[in-house]
Structure 1
């Protein structure tokens, strides 16, 4: 087993494991060896885009023959041992203490909202077979969405509507900022232009969360020309978008890069709260492609990053207190947050927090939280250390 392959057994029965092995079959073999004889009912996996998905599927089936699987490509992973630029991250749920059902939503680029909502409601009924809903506080939903379909807003809205209050978190599949091919897995099948949805009911205390580290400035941009469906902004303040943005942040338009966009995020105000609308890339015609849909007429505010370590520490500390101690956090973190942390040389501080609070997950092309698709945010599900009281079971 590679020295880089590690496993952690959590009090709730979940096993988390990760490896930097370059080959998919070897990575799964090492993860299986690390997990040992633990009985796993559901695997959730995040993997490098250069893994061959079919080989990964074969290895998962061979080493975990009784487990359901769900997963996606990532733009990097993270674990209690720190960041993982490439490799495989695995979360293994036991049958005891967790009841999980899942489905695939196909062709999300042309989503049939009614059909999607019907599929989600059917899945929910499978999890809720016993009449009155008295276990709602111990249910949550996880979404994994193809990050290159530009369909997250529609998908998340349809799912959240049909979930009827079950809290949703998740992430958009990435591919190391190449924007060529993102892949999802579900029970041995490979999917693109799709989303995977898992509904979970557990005997343990849980809470979803989101954390960001920016505050608005006084600099505003009005989107005066855009292609909302393609997530492309052509003009800001009636000027070419890239040039207007670059002038506002004091950069040469020709030098704009993912690092620039991470350091100078844009945000939109919704219901009195600001949410990031991160830039994906500058296009040859001077337009800007975004990770989220941006409507014409929307006012974007230039945001100023705050201390990312302090903001993350505050949120994890709050969750730790609220749940009576954190056993595990499954997280979905925007890849731009990692770039920002690296540029400010504070990634080690984030890694220390993830070690202390048992945080595992992947770096995304977007994050889901309840009915919203977000950027430059850290979302996830926190699982407490102690089972719920027997009287509530």
Structure 2
């Protein structure tokens, strides 16, 4: 059996991870052995789509019977040892210092707005009524959303409003760039076309964040023909979308790839700030499919990347100063950031930086930050050392 590794953090959270296990059962058994001996209040798990979600679910349900579990498939896993290629990462929250409630949100492709808002408000009431709830304690929310349901914008908007000021971060489940099937697991059940929401109250200082490594250029595109529901753009500037984009970045349209899209991101301006709208794939008809919703008439700006290591380091240093030390970071990192880091030979230094700050999480098909669904961004929550007085 491939042996898992584990780290105990000062706040009481323990993270365990395994890479390269032959089977889901073997991976989970190894993780369970690394976490043995300590009571777990909540498990948060990220797993490679090389493992069947049903098998991961059965294995975790058997070895952690009675423990609440929230999990999703990924496009890559982040552990305290760095990036994993075929991994399982588990974040074990202790029963003391953290109060956590969670729920699954079904059928997000046909979102029932009122039902979803009611579920979120019910979670808040449950947390308020918890016998160990503490006035003035820090709260944050984590979302895991099906990355192929094309529903994140609606889901995040409803959740954020119903959270009534509790800050939200999260990520869209992936499947290693296959774009066939992503999966979520919540309390013993595999969920498809769904989302999971966790609300966390803790005695430790926390701060949510987002950072990206691009800046806008003067090159503009107007979406002149699109299939909004499918997040597909047929025309940019009244020209075939792939042709117009490829000409702007100096590439042959037939050679466009995920690497091309990662190196030449598109951004949209909202409220004076730019947010990435990444391209998912080139379609046979020359249209472009996106990871985010794209509407006709939207103005997109070509962006140029900045040094991903230096930009990310500056944000983590800011968090360290704000919190008086970072114990760990639960992070949601766009898979396109990893592809761009590979192109620019930055994957090792960014992985080293993540290890320095105990970043755990997964590579996503999209990121959530408050009311926004984003691409090519690193979002997450940093947890500090010191407990509340």
TM-score interval (norm. to shorter): over 0.9
C-alpha distance in 1, partners of 2:137/2:165? 10
Q: Deviations along 1:150-180, whole A, 9 cap, x unmatched?
A: 0000000000010000000000000011100
Question: Which residue number in structure 1 is paired with residue 361 of structure 2?
Answer: 361
Question: Which residue number in structure 2 is paired with residue 225 of structure 1?
Answer: 225
SS at match of 2:317: helix
Task: Report 1:84-163 matches (<5 A).
Answer: 84-129=84-129, 135=135, 138-163=138-163
Contact 1:333–1:364, Cα closer than 8 Å, also in 2: yes
C-alpha distance in 2, partners of 1:237/1:319? 41
C-alpha distance in 1, partners of 2:178/2:282? 14
Q: Deviations along 1:257-315, whole A, 9 cap, x unmatched?
A: 00000000000000000000000001111100000001111110000000000011001
Task: Report 1:34-49 matches (<5 A).
Answer: 34-49=34-49
C-alpha distance in 2, partners of 1:77/1:256? 26
Structure-1-length-normalised TM-score? 0.96
SS at match of 1:50: coil
Question: Which residue number in structure 2 is paired with residue 61 of structure 1?
Answer: 61
Aligned residues: 387
Contact 1:45–1:71, Cα closer than 8 Å, also in 2: yes
Unaligned runs of 5+ in 1: none
Change in CA separation of 1:333 and 1:135 when aligned onto 2, cut-off 3 Å = farther
Change in CA separation of 1:84 and 1:130 when aligned onto 2, cut-off 3 Å = closer
RMSD: 1.4
Task: Report 1:161-200 matches (<5 A).
Answer: 161-200=161-200
Contact 2:225–2:296, Cα closer than 8 Å, also in 1: yes
Question: Which residue number in structure 2 is paired with residue 13 of structure 1?
Answer: 12
Which sits farther off after the overlay, 231-240 or 121-130? 121-130
* Dislocated runs of 4+, deviation >3 Å: 133-137
Contact 1:80–1:351, Cα closer than 8 Å, also in 2: no
Unaligned runs of 5+ in 2: none
